[in-house]
Amino acid sequence: MSAWQVGAEHVVKITGLSHEALGVGRVKNRVVFIPQAIPGDEVRIRLSHVKERLAYGELLSLVEQSPARRTPSCPHAPLCGGCQLQHMDYRAQLSWKRQQVQDALERLGGLEAEVLPTIGMDDPFHYRNKAQLPLGRQGREVVMGFFQRGTHDIVDLSGCEIQHPLITRLALKVKRAVQELGIEPYDETRHTGALRHAVIRVSFTQGRLMLILVTRTRKLPRGEELIARLRREVPELSSVVHNINPQVTNVILGPETKVLWGAEYLLDAIGHLRYAVSPASFFQVNPLETKVLYDLVVQNLQLAGDETVLDLYCGAGTIGLYLASQAGKVIGVETVRAAVEDARRNAELNGITNAEFYAGRAEEVLPQLIQEYTAIDAAVVDPPRKGCDPVVLEALAEADVPALVYVSCNPATLARDLSYLAGLGYKAGPIQPVDMFPWTSHVETVVLMSRKEDK
């Protein structure tokens, strides 16, 4: 058998991790990516996929174990795509995430910047307040969980170490009820069946649950019986919502949502503020570490109390409202209109009167706002993974905004945008990674960009 034929076996020394947390090694100078392997491991692998310049391998056994390796405490870890790093010591994860940011800045952005040690969690378990769980069928049994890594095969979960325990409790009750009531789960291959996803949210502060049932069909089969049963079995349930998504798509939520029973939203808190979280709201999934993140934004801006602050890609207004008590005025911009409505509701909920929110694309709305507000003292940008549109960064520079805090969930686009801002006359301060997502490959970062004195 050729060394590069699918099925060929090799012993490989793992020297690094990819941004997806795949172990990186070499076979005859060709890069090989191996799931469940970490630096310091020596592993026996079988090639599963071969390309011209790289390959992917399946881990068969450990020849030598890395000092940073741990035995996963979750039985689903080898297959489940929810976590990528259950097999790596938590302190080693924090170190790797810092290095991931450092490497992106140097290699992709060409920047020399100080990256601080990653701020981790004292207890990095059961931190998530939201789960999006697909349903399906394996033989006669209904299954519900997360997709197996790299596939759309559902790993049927009996528990989860990163979700709030109430989410797991409700999920297991939903799965059993769907099985016993004969509600047909969705078959994405045939585009048949009714129930596609159970999306579950929990309020950490109130211990209440919202269940969003996503169906292909306009009607939720046996919906009244299902709701009555879940209300009896899970007293913490406060809301059941029906979302309709008839499309052949990987997008979870469809355009039509209605409350079948209970409250329209959950109430949760970050620090001193309360937030109303509606079914489609963007709300950070780790509320404990979110406070750490937002406090860093506050510390970086050092507001005096009379500044006008822009909050771009503001979602439900969480960051802007967190800053409002220390600013003269906060102006939020968000593409999703429902999120803007949430932001306005949250301002009212907290008695905040110095915050305004606008619906629209930041690159389209921002130039108008800059004309209206002649002096912008500071800005916060918290874009999606694709980063900021160059038009946004250019507009901030043209308005001579002196302080810009960039919150990022993607080191690659962070590096690109910081490099662009450097060319526009900004200098990066120390970059602070925050571990919002323990046991996964993801990392959040906060950095203050200030106008260069010699621009």
Can you give the pLDDT at residue 1? 64
Q: Which CATH class is domain 130-270?
A: mainly beta
Strand order in the sheet with 23-27: 9-13, 42-50, 54-64, 30-34, 23-27, 16-17
The identity of residue 263, as a single letter, is: A
Alpha-carbon separation of residue 110 from 77, 202, 407, 411, 414 (angstroms): 36, 41, 19, 13, 12
In 216-291, DSSP assigns E strands to: 237-244, 256-262, 266-270, 273-277
Spatial separation of the C-alpha atoms in residues 181 and 202, rounded to whole Å: 25
Q: Which residue from 26, 40, 157 is spatially nearest to 87, judged by alpha carbons?
A: 40
Phi and psi at residue 452, to the nearest 5°: -65, 140
pLDDT the model gives residue 453: 66
Tell me whether the CATH fold assigned to 9-64 matches the one assigned to 106-120+286-451: no
What pLDDT score was predicted for residue 280?
83
Please identify every stretch of the chain with a pLDDT value under 50, giving residue numbers as ranges. Answer: 454-455
Identity of the residue numbered 446:
V
State how far the alpha carbon of 293 is from the alpha carbons of 47, 79, 138, 300, 427, in Å.
41, 31, 41, 11, 21
Locate the domains of the chain by residue range: 9-64, 106-120+286-451, 130-270
Integer angstrom CA distances of residue 429 from 114, 307, 389, 419: 7, 21, 22, 13
In CATH, 9-64 is 1.10.357.10: no
pTM here is 0.92
- Catalytic residue numbers? 409
The pairing of strands 30-34 and 54-64 is parallel
Q: Going along 164-208, which residue ranges are E strands?
A: 195-202
| Residue 158 CB neighbour total at 10 angstroms | 12
Q: What is the pLDDT of residue 411?
A: 96
Contact 421, 394 (CB under 8 A): no
Domain 106-120+286-451 has CATH 3.30.70.20: no
Residue with the two structure tokens 């392997």: 37
3-state secondary structure of 147: strand
Summarised one tens digit per residue, pLDDT across range 365-402 is: 888 888 888 789 999 999 999 999 999 999 999 999 99
- State whether residue 10 is helix, strand or coil: strand
